[in-house]
Chains A and B, each alone.
Chain A
Amino acid sequence: MNDLTDLTIADARDALRRGDTTAAELTDAHLEAVETAGALNAFVHRTPEIAREQARAADARLKGGDTPAMCGIPIGVKDLFCTRGVPSQAGSRILEGFRPEYESTVTTRLFEAGSVMLGKLNMDEFAMGSSNETSVYGDAVNPWRATGSDAPLTPGGSSGGSASAVAARLCLGALGTDTGGSIRQPAAFTGTVGIKPTYGRVSRWGIVAFASSLDQAGPMTRTVRDAAIMLGAMAGHDPKDSTSADVAVPDFEAMLTGDIRGQVIGIPGEYRMEGMPAEIDTLWQQGIEMLRDAGAETRDISLPHTKYALPAYYVIAPAEASSNLARYDGVRFGHRAKLAPGDGITEMYEKTRAEGFGPEVQRRVMVGTYVLSAGFYDAYYNRARQVRALIKRDFDEAFAAGVDAILTPATPSAAFPLGAMADADPIRMYLNDVFTVTVNLAGLPGVAVPAGLDDDGLPLGLQLIGRPWEEGALLNVARCLEERAGFVARPEKWW
């Protein structure tokens, strides 16, 4: 019964509750899929013993009639999450050998709900990247290939391993994190669903920090319903994260009524970028038609500061990163460089960080150091925070004018070949996040939904942006889009 890996989380939950399958069977089927998918380089630390033990416990609970939605569901965990006793390296050499003595709040919640961890997933180093090519583990590979080509494609980044694993049926859902688009861009590149919740909806405790005012964790799944189920198990106030909001978590799945009649969907003109491929524009137009078909009203809106979002991000994110990554000093955990005779503590710091951080991380830490340094703080950092306030104001005004959700493309292209950007200016890679980064700056929920295929047979996604704390309503719009897009394509197995 190998279709077990084809189930959605919702189907698997129902099958487990009915007793049609067991957590142990589900887990074994997925462990086998992981075992034979080495070519994708998605799972970088496998945890079959933990998975089997958790599956046994889940089966016992299920037998006793205790059946939380995520009970017995095999998932993958991005390497950014600290998991007790299991390598948690953030895709970096500097955390080589690090095995946390504690468990992140999000994984704790999922485990308490009975979820089964298959292992840790590949990612860009410290979540800095849009192609999963900055990872110490090497590139994660997209299970999708262009028609008639066997060139390996990027699964996107930074949650590239999560996207690849979900699309390739190695797990039913995966944990991702999103600082500028790191859940939504890889979801779009792999034909999967990924939601970045409202800032503060999900605890950041125990997640390796990149840019603390932007980072949020979210689920990556194959359907909108699954995203609703998994997000419900992750979300909620956590006293250990002072920015986690004490806001009630509704039943997101119950809010998927499929009824969006009369809702107003904003279409922001500023997202029609110069040089945007025609197929992205066409897809966007089709999305507009689908939501109209569902009974929504679409309205042209303006978010005038959109073009300044990426520049503001590339001040704020490196600034916060330079401060967060100061803790990697070779003293308390992770890698320490071998020292030469006479080397003091400064040489230890400098050599450790030079060896432990890859080029992109080094670049961002140094850019962040520069923009925070005396004499430049006002010109860069404070100005970026002012522009960030204006970007948020744009959204606030649109919502105040009656817009319920906003529809945009998710990415400016489909997945590109691994290595294609190797010689490009870093800015070209940064442009991948042009449609997603505004959402992090404004702290809003955003979801990527698979909406079609390009001429090469590669998936393309659309993004929906919602009001703060209204993930349920947002997912309901996403469900309507998903239903009408009827995305059923899947990557042909070559791995």
Chain B
Amino acid sequence: MSIDKETARRVAKLARIAVPDDRLDALAGEFNAILGFVEQLQEVDVAGVEPMVSVTPMRLKRRDDVVTDGGQPQKILANAPDAREGFFAVPKVVE
């Protein structure tokens, strides 16, 4: 279950974090230390135990399916690094 450099590269890619090539070995080492630590969980007898979904036994409240908010594009865009003409702007996505 040891993580190698290629796995570290793949995980960084999945997480959308640019990691320079010369950092990948060290990163794999850190992953292995953490995953080695959590490996202890395999010792526990979990037969028949439901994975916890909610720590307090409660039913999620329901609300009416109606619009309760909106109409404030300026506020929504106020913190955007790049907003133009009422939209978030990003680099070209489709060629």
- Segment touching B, from A2-10, A269-277, A336-344: A336-344
Query: Chain A interface mostly helix, strand, loop or mixed?
Result: helix
Contact B42 A383 (CB under 8 A): yes
B62 — nearest CB in chain A belongs to which residue?
A242
CB distance from A199 to the nearest CB of B (A): 5
B25 to chain A, nearest CB (A): 14
Proximity string of chain B (45-87) to chain A, C-beta cutoff 8 Å, 1 when within and 0 when not: 0100111111110101101000000001001101111100000
Say how far B47's CB is from chain A's closest CB, in angstroms. 9
Distance between Cα atoms of A442 and B40 in the complex (Å): 19
Taken together as a complex, chains A and B put the C-alpha atoms of A389 and B38 apart, in Å, by 16
Cα distance A97–B82 when bound, in Å? 13
Instruction: Decide: A332 near B79, CB < 8 A? Known: A199-B56, A311-B37, A350-B17.
Output: yes
**Interchain CB contact under 8 A, B79 and A97:** yes
Taking the nearest CB of chain B, how far is it from the CB of A319, in angstroms?
A: 11
Sort A-B residue pairs by CB-CB distance and give the 9 closest, nearest first.
A443-B55, A385-B51, A336-B81, A333-B79, A350-B18, A386-B46, A354-B18, A349-B16, A101-B75
- Name the CB-closest residue of B to A344: B91
Instruction: List A contacts of B31 (CB < 8 A).
Output: 363, 366-367, 370
**Hey, which chain A residues are within 8 Å of B14, CB to CB?**
369, 373
Which of B11, B17, B33, B82 touches A336 (beta carbons < 8 Å)? B82
Size of the chain B interface, CB-CB below 8 angstroms:
52
Please give me the residue from chain B that is nearest to A372 by CB atom.
B14
Cβ contacts B1-43/A at 8 Å (1 or 0 each): 0010001100111111111000000010011011101111111
Contacting residues of chain A (102-122) with chain B, CB-CB under 8 angstroms:
none
Q: Is the CB of B16 within 8 A of A242?
A: no
A329 and chain B: residue at smallest CB distance: B16
Chain A residues lying within 8 Å of B17, measured Cβ to Cβ, are 350, 353-354, 357, 362, 365-366
In the docked arrangement, what's the CA distance between A330 and B52, Å? 33
CA distance A373 to B56 in the complex (A): 27
With A101-B78, A336-B82, A425-B33 as contacts: A369 and B41 at CB distance below 8 Å: no
Q: How far, in Å, is B12 (CB) from chain A's closest CB?
A: 6
**A246 on the B face (CB < 8 A):** yes
CA distance A369 to B12 in the complex (A): 9
| Residues of chain B with a CB closer than 8 A to A161's CB | none
The answer to whether A353 touches B38 (Cβ under 8 A) is no
**Contact assessment for A365 and B15 in the assembled complex, using a CB-CB cutoff below 8 Å:** yes
Residue in chain B with minimal CB distance to A468: B56
10 A-B pairs besides A390-B46, A427-B37, A443-B56 with CB distance below 8 A are A311-B37, A334-B81, A346-B16, A362-B17, A362-B19, A365-B15, A366-B8, A380-B41, A386-B46, A442-B55
Contacting B at CB under 8 A, from A429-445, are 430, 441-443
Given A336-B81, A353-B17, A312 and B41 contact (CB-CB distance below 8 Å): yes
Q: Is the CB of A308 within 8 A of B52?
A: no
Q: Are A345 and B93 in contact (CB under 8 A)?
A: yes
Q: Do B15 and A366 touch across chains, with their CB atoms under 8 A apart?
A: yes
Residues in B with CB closer than 8 Å to A198 are 56
Identify A366's interface contact among B11, B54, B79, CB under 8 A.
B11
Report if A490 contacts B (CB, 8 A).
Answer: no
User: In the assembled complex, how far is the CB of residue B8 from the closest CB belonging to chain A, in whole angstroms?
Assistant: 8
User: Taking A353-B16, A390-B46 as contacts, is the C-beta distance between A345 and B51 under 8 angstroms?
Assistant: no
Q: A305–B49 Cα gap in the complex (Å)? A: 14
Determine whether A412 belongs to the interface, using a CB cutoff of 8 Å to chain B: no
Residues of A within 8 A of B76 (CB): 101, 332
Rounded to whole angstroms, the CA-CA distance of A307 and B37 in the bound complex is: 11
Complex Cα distance, B95 from A345, in Å, reads 12
A98 to B79, CA, bound (A): 6
A343 x B91 contact (CB < 8 A) = yes
| Contact partner, A331, options B54, B61, B90, Cβ 8 Å | B90
Asked if A351 is at the interface (CB within 8 A of a chain B CB), the reply is yes
Chain A proximity of B80: nearest CB distance (Å): 6
In the complex the two chains form, what is the Cα distance from A312 to B38 in whole Å? 7
Partner pick for B52 among A200, A239, A350, A388, CB 8 A cutoff = A388
Cβ–Cβ contact A369 & B15, under 8 A: yes
Does A315 lie at the interface of the complex (its beta carbon under 8 Å from any beta carbon of B)? yes
Q: How far is the CA of A346 from the CA of B15 in the complex (A)?
A: 11
Contact: A344 with B16, CB < 8 Å? no
